[in-house]
Structure formats: structure tokens, C-alpha cells
Structure 1
Amino acid sequence: MKFQGGKGLELSGTSVLAGVFCFIAASISSAGGIGGGGLYIPILTIVAGLDLKTASSFSAFMVTGGSIANVMYNLRAQSDKFGGKSKTLIDYDIALLSEPCMLLGVSVGVICNLVFPEWLITVLFAIFLFWSTFKTCGNGVGHWKRESEEHQLESGNIGYEKLENGVIQNGNCSESEEVKSLEEPLVGTEEGKEEFGGYPWKKLVVLVMVWFSFSAIYLLRGNRYGQGILPMKPCGVGYWTLSLFQIPLAIAFTAWILGRKEAIACQGPNEKGVNKFIFPLMALLAGGLGGLFGIGGGMLISPLLLQVGVAPEVTAATCSFMVFFSSTMSAFQYLLLGMDHTEAALIFSIICFVASLVGLLVVQKAIKEFGRASLIVFSVGIVMALSTILMTSFGALDVWEDYSSGSYMGFKLPC
């Protein structure tokens, strides 16, 4: 496939090579439940020769393809590590608490992307991803050590009692509190009241409502160039009114779920309670940074969830579930606003779909074989490290090009 202007697409060596690299990137990203946009965009621009705008639209479709594979797998995947009970890996409460604020954050981040100079975006991106990579790898090492202790317990080398979920706790909580906290999800739920067939349909319906609500705003408002469903002056009163309406919308959806949930007093291997208010704040931060840097929020919220003590399996499954809603929204907008090379984008999304399934099956088999859920954390760390190198280098080259050409490098107006 040859990408030149609006001409036809032809099969070429560079497009095949880009497809191979994207396959590898998707298979690695899928294990951590993150979108992989931080890898797709550099591959498509450097290897396939796409411009940044086209690469971003392709990336939205590719992340969607990978997230569909993840969601299909994780909807049926369950774990028996929670007090002997078999529970789904997806924490729907975290997703429900996070998604409205994440979508709001994306809009704020996109505006900041238009205002901030390129050099500032590159510096912020490098700092945040370096910190996230460092913390993620640290969490991976910590999980690996706990798993090693668990294996020693199972082999009888240590004379301590083995907890059902294989996590050794040394906190201030009593043993009964520890076991009880491990039997419960991170955010309290009302089991049995809204589940049918093993799925919390009421929460799923609310998530779909959130998706449609924000999608409707994006499509009605259009972009800053006036490309939308309604005839609207670019960056006029109507444009900003619809944009600001996202704030009460996110608050309303978040308040609905916050009003019916309770925080867990003792939860997770990090020996500290996890308050329910932290998830919307983390999602707002991740969404804002994702919109600012032009990548999916899944890669940014994953290390934050790991940091507060969410299990690696739950983090991966929940992030992929959240990425599904945000990536499909982006792809849907690109379609309705008339993107180019749709057929090629679908081909690349199918490649990522297959690669994600392969990556999931390989990693899950390795986890069952070796009992190392920390492989998921290391997968996230690898993707973030590669993204840090590629995206930072890519941004630095753009900054140097602007500096060499004498382009304006200060703050700009959003319109």
C-alpha cells in the first residue's frame, strides 16, 4: 500500500514492513491492555511514510482493532484468586468511574495541544513517560518478588500460611481483613442486583450512554475548522458552549456512580486503602495527557492503576475495556468526518486484532505455566519504554525542524 496524497493505494515493501512492526507492537501491547498508539504512530510515520494526521487516524482504527480482541477475550476470562471465587477480570466499577472523566480529559488535552508549543509538549511527554516507565518497572519487580515468595510457599520452603490469592500481606490489617479485602473488588459492588448472565448490564448500559453522549457532542460540535454535523462557526459561541457542556456531563455521570459506591478500607498488595475518588482524578489526568500527547489514555492510566495496588490482570483487562470505548469514539469521528484511506486503515486494524489475540494467548499461557502475572506489568513497561524513545525522538526532530526553519515556537491561540 503506497500512501501519497489522495492517490490509490499500492502494495509496497514499506507498507508490508510497517504491518509487520505493527503486528509485533500490537502483540506486546495487548498483554498490558493498553492501546499501543505510542508505537503505531512512529511506525506509520517513519516506516510507512504517512503524515502525522493520517497516522493518527490509522492509529485510532488500529487501537480499536486491538481493543476489540482484548474485550472479547476478557469478557469471558475469570480468575479464581479472589477468595476461591471465580470473578471476571474486568472491574466495571473502575471503568464506570473513570470513563466520563477520561473523555473529558481528552477534550481538555486536545485544546492544550493546540495552545502549547511543540517543545513544551515534547518535554512534558518525555518526563511523564519516563516517570511512568520507571514506576511500572518497579511495580513489575515488586510483583515478581511476591510471586517468587508465593512459589516458595507452595513448595513448602517457607512456613507461613498461604493466602488464597497468592499475595503475601505484611500491612497493619488483620489476617481476616486481608482475606476479606481480597475477596472483594477494588470498588464495592451490589452483586446479584444488576447482573444477568454474569455481566453487570446496568453498568454496561451506562457506559454506552456515556459513549453516545460524548460522541454526540463531538459530532455536533465538529472540529475547529467547522467540520461537523451542524453548520457551526468554527470556534464560535456554539462551538465553545457544546465543548463546555462536557464538564457537567462528566460530573453528572461520575456523581451517579460515586453516590452508590463505598471505598474499601484495606485493599491491594500496597497495604493502603484505595479511595473511590482517586479513579476519576486519575482518569482526568490520563485523558488530559493522552489528548495533549496525541496517544490513547490507556497507556497512561495503566501505570497509575498499578501504582494504587490494582492487580496486574485486573489492570490489563480494565484498561483494555476502557480503551475500547475511547478508541471506538475516535475511529467513529474520523469516519464521519471523512478520513482518507479507510480501506488501508481497516486492513491495519485487522492486523492489530489478530496480533492482539496472539499476544493475549501467548502471555496468558505463560502466566498459567509459570505463575507470573508480573509478565503483564513488564509488557506495559516495554511498551512505555519504546514509546518514550520513539515518540520523544520523533517530537525532538519536529522541534528541531521548527527551530531550523525559524517557525514560531511560543504559545498559540486554540483557534
Structure 2
Amino acid sequence: MIMGAAASTVYYNIRLRHPTLSMPIIDYDLALLFQPMLMLGISIGVAFNVLFADWMVTILLLIIFLVTSTKAFFRGVAAWKKETLFKKEAARILAQTVNEEAEGYIPLSSGPTNSRREQVSIFENICWSELGLLLLVWGTFLALQITKNYTSNCSISYWVLNSLQHYKFFPGIVGGLLGLGGGFILGPLFLELGVPPQVSSATATFIMTFSASMSVIEYYLLKRFPVPYALYFSVVAIISALIGQKAVGKLIKILGRASLIIFILAFTIFVSPVSLGGTGIFNMIGKMERREYMGFENLCKQH
């Protein structure tokens, strides 16, 4: 589901330009910096998902998402206030310009004109060298995961392959552990780094496409992936993501507030633990009533 939504969003964003700079809205350099570490973290996250009991994953889901959504919300409030100041300043400058023109005074240009290209072809809007490196990293990890699947659990070759995937990174661990693509963690992280909301959303979703696809493959190899359900929800997610992208894009153009993206991100992150956490708590209560085992699982057992 997450992979389908991410892929459709990337398809929509891949044609768009940066809101202020002459570059794509997807920051390929930023993606190249984070994507390898994120995918490295996915491996250990998936292993933790197998090892941890359901109630542990549920509690982690609630804690991480509630903290992340709260930080994103306050970030959105700060961005909203900043946009309000910009709007007031722009209105003041516009009123001053109108008055000066009415008096017959036309000010000279005070700086270079903005040469940013609004429309380019998709081919020009893709950084092919960076994309090639990202695909190479993705393919390398895919080969390692497939090879590891044909080794005995906890054997020497199994741990050798795992040792080739070191330098784990927090968003990847969280994404693999909770069955996400890591974008819910990277989006707020990029905002904290000062990346514009449009670029943050587009880049995080672009990275999430790679990491989510890796999570899908790993869970499929672990036989924890119901294909019919996944296909159904992927179609729903793709359609919803395309509609959402167009609707949000229209709203931003009408209102002139990119902070809407931050509020939508915060709301989505907040709703996710409420719905998923509620389901997890319901299942946990059922296991308690049936007196089922709720401790750590055996990572080395054959699946």
C-alpha cells in the first residue's frame, strides 16, 4: 500500500520543478545521501519485526508516530506564521508600488531577474547519474536479500551476508520494524533540516519508493506478505495518492501556503498510530484472553 502510494506520488512529482531554484523538486543529492542508509536500516528493522512481539511493535508505533506528528505540527505552525509575515510584507510592497506608479515614479530593477525554468521535459528533469546510483544501491541490496533467503537461518553464510549490511540508520530501522517505508520519519527530518515542504515531501516519497519496495520483498521472502490484499490496497493507494497530489497542489496555488503540506503530513502521521495502534491493541487483548505467548520470537527459526 505504501509502495503503491509512493510510486504514484513519484510519478506525479517527477515532472515538477523546485519552488525557488532551477532544479527538480526531488532533491536527488539528498536522496542519494539518505537512501543507502535507509535501506541498510530496513534489514535490521525487518529482523526486529520478526523478533519483537506484536505488542512491542504497537507501543513503538504509538510513541514514535505521536512524537513525530507533534513535532511536525509545531513546525507547520511556525511555517504558517512565517508565510503570514511574507504575505503582509508582499501586500505592503505592492501597495507602495501602486502609489509610486500613480505618482509617475517607476523604480529601477534592483536585482537580477529570476531565470528559473518553470517547465522542462521529464527527461531533463531527472538527474540520471544520481538515479543510476540509487538503482545500483537498490539492486545490490536486493541481490543480498535474495541470496540470504537461500541460506540457513543463523548459519555462517547468513551472518556473513548480514555483516555486509552494516551502518544501520534509524529511519530505516523504524521503517522495517513497523512495516513502513521510512518516509514518515524522513519527511519531518527534512523539515527540521530546513528543506522546503514541497521538496521535503517529494524527496521523502522518492526515497520511500526504494525502501518500501525493499520492505515488500523482504516480507515476501519471509512469507509475511498476503499478495491479494497487497494488490488491492496498492490500487486504492495509487488512485488516492494521485487525487491527493492534485488537490493539495491546487490548494497551495490558491492559498499560497506550502505549510499545508506540513499539516497534512502531521495529520497523516497522527492518524496512522491511532488506526494501526487500535488494531494492535485489539489483537493484543485477544491474545491475552486466549493466553497466547506474547514474548520475543526466535529469529533463527525457519519460516
Is this a same-fold pair by TM over 0.5?
A: yes
What is the CA distance between 1:364 and its match in structure 2?
Answer: 0.5
Does residue 211 (structure 1) correspond to residue 150 (structure 2)? The answer is: no
Once residues 343 and 414 of structure 1 are traced to their aligned partners in structure 2, the CA distance between those partners, rounded to angstroms, is 27
Partner of 1:11: none
What is the CA distance between 1:354 and its match in structure 2?
Answer: 2.1
Once residues 82 and 61 of structure 2 are traced to their aligned partners in structure 1, the CA distance between those partners, rounded to angstroms, is 31
Unaligned runs of 5+ in 2: 97-122
Does residue 65 (structure 1) correspond to residue 4 (structure 2)? The answer is: yes
Q: Any idea what the Cα deviations from partners look like across 1:137-174, whole Å, max 9, x if unmatched? A: 101111111111111111107999xxxxxxxxxxxxxx
Matched letter for residue 214 of structure 1 = F
SS in structure 2 at match of 1:246: coil
Does residue 318 (structure 1) correspond to residue 203 (structure 2)? The answer is: yes
Partner of 2:245: 360
Greater helix percent: which structure? 2
User: What is the correspondence of 1:327-338 to structure 2 with a 5 Å cutoff?
Assistant: 327-332=212-217
**RMSD of equivalent CA atoms:** 2.7
Contact 1:152–1:158 (Cα < 8 Å) also in 2: no
Q: Any idea what the Cα deviations from partners look like across 1:312-341, whole Å, max 9, x if unmatched? A: 111100011101112233445567788887
Contact 1:63–1:327 (Cα < 8 Å) also in 2: yes
Contact 2:3–2:181 (Cα < 8 Å) also in 1: no
Partner of 2:24: 88
Larger radius of gyration: 2
Once residues 117 and 347 of structure 1 are traced to their aligned partners in structure 2, the CA distance between those partners, rounded to angstroms, is 27
Partner of 2:273: 388
Residues 288 and 334 of structure 1, relative CA distance in 2, 3 Å threshold: closer
SS in structure 2 at match of 1:98: helix
User: What is the correspondence of 1:155-166 to structure 2 with a 5 Å cutoff?
Assistant: 155-156=91-92
Contact 1:153–1:159 (Cα < 8 Å) also in 2: no
Does residue 244 (structure 1) correspond to residue 163 (structure 2)? The answer is: yes
Question: Which of the residues 39, 47, 50 maps onto 1:114?
Answer: 50
Once residues 62 and 252 of structure 2 are traced to their aligned partners in structure 1, the CA distance between those partners, rounded to angstroms, is 31
Once residues 382 and 296 of structure 1 are traced to their aligned partners in structure 2, the CA distance between those partners, rounded to angstroms, is 18
Question: Which of the residues 185, 196, 203 maps onto 1:300?
Answer: 185
Partner of 1:27: none
Partner of 1:171: none
Partner of 1:199: 126
Contact 2:43–2:176 (Cα < 8 Å) also in 1: yes
- Select between 89-98 and 321-330 the one with higher mean Cα deviation: 321-330
Partner of 1:348: 233
Once residues 238 and 380 of structure 1 are traced to their aligned partners in structure 2, the CA distance between those partners, rounded to angstroms, is 41
What is the CA distance between 1:233 and its match in structure 2?
Answer: 1.9
Q: Normalising by the residue count of structure 1, what TM-score does the alignment of the two structures yield?
A: 0.61
Partner of 1:374: 259
Partner of 1:99: 35
Once residues 80 and 125 of structure 1 are traced to their aligned partners in structure 2, the CA distance between those partners, rounded to angstroms, is 33
Once residues 282 and 232 of structure 2 are traced to their aligned partners in structure 1, the CA distance between those partners, rounded to angstroms, is 29
- Select between 288-297 and 393-402 the one with higher mean Cα deviation: 393-402
Residues 122 and 334 of structure 1, relative CA distance in 2, 3 Å threshold: closer
Residues 123 and 347 of structure 1, relative CA distance in 2, 3 Å threshold: closer
Contact 2:18–2:26 (Cα < 8 Å) also in 1: no
Residues 305 and 80 of structure 1, relative CA distance in 2, 3 Å threshold: closer
Contact 2:5–2:240 (Cα < 8 Å) also in 1: yes
Once residues 181 and 263 of structure 2 are traced to their aligned partners in structure 1, the CA distance between those partners, rounded to angstroms, is 19
Matched letter for residue 106 of structure 1 = I
Does residue 131 (structure 1) correspond to residue 67 (structure 2)? The answer is: yes
Q: Any idea what the Cα deviations from partners look like across 1:3-25, whole Å, max 9, x if unmatched? A: xxxxxxxxxxxxxxxxxxxxxxx
What is the CA distance between 1:308 and its match in structure 2?
Answer: 2.2
Contact 2:17–2:125 (Cα < 8 Å) also in 1: no
Partner of 1:19: none
Contact 2:14–2:125 (Cα < 8 Å) also in 1: no
Contact 2:181–2:215 (Cα < 8 Å) also in 1: no
Q: Any idea what the Cα deviations from partners look like across 1:200-253, whole Å, max 9, x if unmatched? A: 22111110001100111111112xxxxxxx3x3233222222122112xxx6xx
What is the CA distance between 1:344 and its match in structure 2?
Answer: 5.8
Does residue 147 (structure 1) correspond to residue 83 (structure 2)? The answer is: yes
What is the CA distance between 1:375 and its match in structure 2?
Answer: 0.9
Matched letter for residue 107 of structure 1 = S
Q: Any idea what the Cα deviations from partners look like across 1:78-101, whole Å, max 9, x if unmatched? A: 13423xxx3211111111111111
What is the CA distance between 1:414 and its match in structure 2?
Answer: 1.6
What is the CA distance between 1:126 and its match in structure 2?
Answer: 1.4
What is the CA distance between 1:299 and its match in structure 2?
Answer: 1.2
Unaligned runs of 5+ in 1: 1-61, 161-195, 223-229, 252-280
Matched letter for residue 136 of structure 1 = A
Identity in percent = 34
